[in-house]
Each structure stands twice: as structure tokens, then as C-alpha cells.
Structure 1
Amino acid sequence: MTKMKSLLPAIAVLASAAVPSMALAEPIQEWSFTISNQWDQNNTAWVGNGSTPADAFGSGSTLPDGADPAGDYAFVRWGSPENSGGNRSFLAADTNLTQSSVFTNGAGAAGAYFYHGNYSLRTGANYENTLDKTRLISQIEITSVTPTGVSTTINRAFNIDFTETLNSQNGDSLPIEECAGYETWGSAVNVASCPDSFTIDTSALRFTTEAIDGYVYDFTVAFDLSTLDGIVGVGFDGDLATIWTSEGILSRIGTIVTVTAREVPEPGSIALLGAGLLTTGLGLRRRRRAR
């Protein structure tokens, strides 16, 4: 089994050159990948004048509010519920997820989901603090299926800034202008509560392999906007994506994984190109001397 030496952090742009035609192996046609996620406790911060959330980090086959009992999840949770027996808020991501049908230059395949349980919380010295920021660590194992023989494991870190927004009290409505980000998601004059948001740096969602038998492979993980559930708006600022979630429910957004192949010159082709340029240069020098 061949191990890739390294992965480039971003998509490389290669200039094309005219070289003598050489036979290339067929590109890898199909891939599989496994994703394992965990929340970085050392890079998680809380805000408020209350206590540090208890049992903040965990994993399991159900989300902290008992929803979606059909997968494995890693989560970070916080807050004292507004009502007795209510849910704490949380962020979660699929973990131990395997996808076996990712086709080169194909339409893409479903990747991991992100979840936000957005529930009303109490604030103050007698209650748990709320989330300020955190980091998700992803380990991704990529393996070629057709043909076999290529495998690599990479690690990615996703920094997330979280905004716990103002909520109404006693069922009163709020002017929408008092809600952060209303320019992105707002459509009403007054709202019962303001959506929360988390902002994630998506630059780590792209990576490129080194050359494999004359090809490099660009992997891209993008948010799949057709999967939005309980999400009122998504805004982009360069590589930063801000996702706004409804109050009082579980929200989620999925991802889609695509891979494309690009031909690159083999070392032999580059040597031939260099030799051709050198021969041309020597020929020009001889002609000038003859004159």
C-alpha cells in the first residue's frame, strides 16, 4: 500500500506546458473516507459570570437532547435550562462516519453533519456559563477503492466562534433590529427570539494530494445547502461561514465531498522539456556563430 508523503493546505494552481506526449496511468476512480471528530477542550472558552459547564464534552449514539438516534456524535454542551427538565444547548458533529462512494470528477457524496441544539438558558452567577468559542478536531482517513493501493490520514482543525443572542422574556416580542445578523436572515418586524449563530473557518475543508501516477487530487468539503434544517440563514465572508439557527429546536447542516483529478507533468516529461529547451538554445547559439 502506497502512503502519500504529505498534503498541501490549499488547492495548487499549475501552469501548463507543451511537452512530448507520455502515457499516463488512469486516475483513481473511486475513494472511501472515514471521519472521526472530537472537540478540543484546551481551545474552548466560556462567557458569563456563572460556573464552568459540567460534563461539557462527550460522545454517544444520541445527541444530548435525545434526537437523531441513528449515528455516532461528538458534542460540547453548556448552560442551565430555562425550564425544569429542559435541554442544555450544544454543538455536535458526526463521528466514526464512513462513506465509500466518492467518485473522482463526480457529483460528490454526503459527508458529516453539524448540529446545534439551540435552547433557552438561564444566565447569572448561579447558572452555567455559555459557549464563547471552541475548536473541532477532525481526523480523515482517505483510501482509494478503484484501483486500490493509496491511503493517507490527515488532521484538520476548525475554529468556531459562537454567539448566544438576546431572547425575549415572558413571551414578549423583540424588535428585529435588536437581533444580531438580522440583515442576513430577517424578514419580520418583530420576533419572539433571536437566532444564535456559529462562525466556522472553512479554509481547512480543502486539501490537495501530492502527485500520484501523474495526477493530483483536489478534495473539497462544502456545506450542502439542500440539507438545511432549522437554519434561518447562512452568510459567507471569504472563508468564514456564519450559520444562524432558530431558537428552541435542533438545527443541522450537512456537507458534500467532491474530488477532482488534474494531470501533472511526470519527472521524465519535465526532463524531456528541459532537454528540448537546452537543445533549442544550443542550436540558436550555433546559428549566430555561423553568421
Structure 2
Amino acid sequence: MKSLASSIALAATVALSSGAVAAPISEWAFTVNQSFDPNSTTWTSTGTTPVDAFGNNVDALPDGQDPAGNYSYVRWGTPANPTNDRSFLAADTNFTQTGLMTNGAGVAGSTFYHGNYTVWGGSQYEAKLNSASLFTEIEISSVSPEGLSAVLSRTFEIGFVETTNDRNGIDVPIEQCDGYDIWGGSGNIASCPDRFSLDIRSLDFSTEIDGYIYDFTVAFDLSTLNNIVGVDVNDNIATIWTGEGVLSSIGTLVTVTAREVAPVPEPASIALLGGGLLAAGMGLRRRRK
């Protein structure tokens, strides 16, 4: 987990509308809107298609908890106990964050949630989530000085596996659960954790404005882990294991740094350089003759 902060980030280049800015932009704000795409969601082959599977810009998570504000979610599964909740993935949406200082400390970004609740399997019950696409739109604007803005669109592909501790009616030892080599040894895991994977290649973005390149980075904030059993990053895929029967969450941290662009020679200097090279070439030609 200690290597996660330096490993996880997303990348793309965006052009901001720019006026004459003499000094680096010192402060930024951003607004995030997210939603799960029903058309790109796939379910396991066994079971009926989940009903009322999607929610957007709702004021509570599907299990009734409300740790932040507004959410988008995808949910599935027939609860093993009628009083239990269905499983779900969710993300913060429709929120604005200010106070992002250039070359300063990071500020909180979106939080991702997993309601890991026990659901029935089999053809007579609802199918389970296999994969989902989370569409994210981020509007970035400058606070000091004001007047610069851009809208970024990203789609994050999420693979999901709802695990079981039962194979052919036989309990699976915890040491045989997927990912045990990553999260094992804590001593308090009673059942196989679920896992979801996220392609993290789209999280960083950079832009050049008036002689400065601004690099924005989004990383998982390890200080926010809640009921997260383990995290692993391999080949730009982050895999996250979550505890059974609880709401799990992991937050993000957004930072921005600025660096000066190397100066470009003035046109007059380029012309002089070109003329000098031409003269040197002509002299060399005369000597050869």
C-alpha cells in the first residue's frame, strides 16, 4: 500500500482557454460529475438482470448511509437475508472543491464506495456485476487569477468479482481466497473479500499556459481507507479488495504542480542562426572548390 500513492495517477492533455497571465496560476477549483453507464454495464451469465440498478445524483447511498453528499451508483443481487441490502458500487458526484494551490498540499477528490453485502447466486436470483463504466466530467477553473476554465471527460472501466467462500458445497480456507498473498496476514478476515479493478491510466492531465506547464495528479488517499482489505497496482490496473458485510470506501487526493517551459528562441535569433549556418556552408563549399 505504501507504494500506491506514487503509483496511481491518471493522464491526458487538455487546452485551457488562456489570456495574458504574467505569473503562475496560484489557486484552482474543480467540479466533478459522475455516473455509471447502463449501456456499458455487464452482468454475470447466471441470474436475472437486476432491476432499478442505477441511480444518479441521489442524496444517500443504496444502504441508506450518507457520508458525503450526492452519489451515483450501480447495484445488484438478491439479498441472502430479506433485511439485508443489495451490493453496490458508488462514487461522489456533483460536488465542487476549492483551495487547490499550485505546488501546495493536495485537496480531497471523489470517494469511491462498495457496499459488500451477501447476495444469493443462481439462475432464480439477480445476476451479479461483472463490469461497469464510470463516466466522469471534471470542470477545472482558475481562482487566482480568475478566468481560465476547461471541461475534461473521462471513462473509467471497472471490473468486478463477487467472491464466495463456498465451492461445490465445501468451505474454502481463507488462505485460498483470491489475493491472499496481497492482503493476508491481518488475522481478522473471516471470508473471501470481493474485489474490483480500475484502469488508472486516465487520471493525470497536464496543460501549458503562458510559459508554465501545470501537472494535475489524482491519487488514492491511503489515509481514507475504510474496510479496505488490500490494494495492489500492476500494469496500470489498481485492484482493491473489500471486507464482507460492510460499506467500504477509498478517497482520492488531487494535487497540481507548475514548471516553467524552456524558452523558445525569438524569430530574429532563429534568422541570425540560420544565416550563420548558411554562410558557414557557403564558405565550406568555396574551400572544397
TM range (shorter): 0.7 to 0.9
1:41 alignment partner in structure 2: 38
Aligned partner letter, 1:252 = S
For residue 209 of structure 2, the aligned residue among 208, 212, 232 is 212
5 Å matches for 1:84-163? 84-163=82-161
Q: 1:189 to 1:257 in 2, by over 3 A?
A: closer
CA contact (8 A) 1:174 1:190 kept: no
Aligned partner letter, 2:274 = L
What TM-score results when the alignment is normalised by the length of structure 2?
0.85
For residue 49 of structure 2, the aligned residue among 44, 49, 52 is 52
1:275 alignment partner in structure 2: 271
For residue 32 of structure 1, the aligned residue among 23, 29, 38 is 29
1:250 alignment partner in structure 2: 247
3-state secondary structure, aligned to 2:267: helix
In the TM superposition, structure 1's runs of 4+ consecutive aligned residues that sit over 6 Å from their partners are none
Residue ranges of structure 2 left out of the alignment (5+ in a row): 1-9, 15-20
Q: 1:191 to 1:115 in 2, by over 3 A?
A: closer
5 Å matches for 1:193-208? 193-208=191-206
Report the Cα distance in structure 2 between the residues aligned to 1:189 and 1:105, rounded to whole angstroms: 40
- Residue 11 (structure 1) shift: 6.8
- Residue 10 (structure 1) shift: 3.5
- Residue 178 (structure 1) shift: 2.5
What TM-score results when the alignment is normalised by the length of structure 1?
0.85
Deviations 1:156-200 (A, max 9, x none): 00000001111359xx96412331111111116895310001100
Report the Cα distance in structure 2 between the residues aligned to 1:270 and 1:81, rounded to whole angstroms: 69
1:18 alignment partner in structure 2: none
- Residue 284 (structure 1) shift: 3.1
CA contact (8 A) 1:80 1:121 kept: yes
Q: 1:276 to 1:173 in 2, by over 3 A?
A: farther
2:236 alignment partner in structure 1: 239
CA contact (8 A) 1:158 1:200 kept: yes
Deviations 1:98-124 (A, max 9, x none): 101111111211101000000011111
For residue 74 of structure 2, the aligned residue among 66, 73, 76 is 76
1:19 alignment partner in structure 2: none
- Residue 214 (structure 1) shift: 1.3
CA contact (8 A) 2:165 2:171 kept: no
CA contact (8 A) 1:214 1:264 kept: yes
CA contact (8 A) 1:176 1:188 kept: no
Residue ranges of structure 1 left out of the alignment (5+ in a row): 1-7, 13-23
2:164 alignment partner in structure 1: 166
- Give aligned pairs, total: 270
Report the Cα distance in structure 2 between the residues aligned to 1:254 and 1:190, rounded to whole angstroms: 23
Q: 1:69 to 1:107 in 2, by over 3 A?
A: closer
For structure 1, which segment, 62-71 or 242-251, has the greater mean C-alpha deviation from structure 2 after superposition? 62-71
Report the Cα distance in structure 2 between the residues aligned to 1:127 and 1:181, rounded to whole angstroms: 27
- Residue 220 (structure 1) shift: 1.0
3-state secondary structure, aligned to 1:25: coil
Report the Cα distance in structure 1 between the residues aligned to 2:220 and 2:269, rounded to whole angstroms: 41
CA contact (8 A) 1:64 1:90 kept: yes
- Residue 68 (structure 1) shift: 2.1
3-state secondary structure, aligned to 2:265: helix
Q: 1:188 to 1:256 in 2, by over 3 A?
A: closer
Q: Percent identity?
A: 53
Find out whether 1:175 has 2:181 as its counterpart. Answer: no
- Residue 271 (structure 1) shift: 3.3
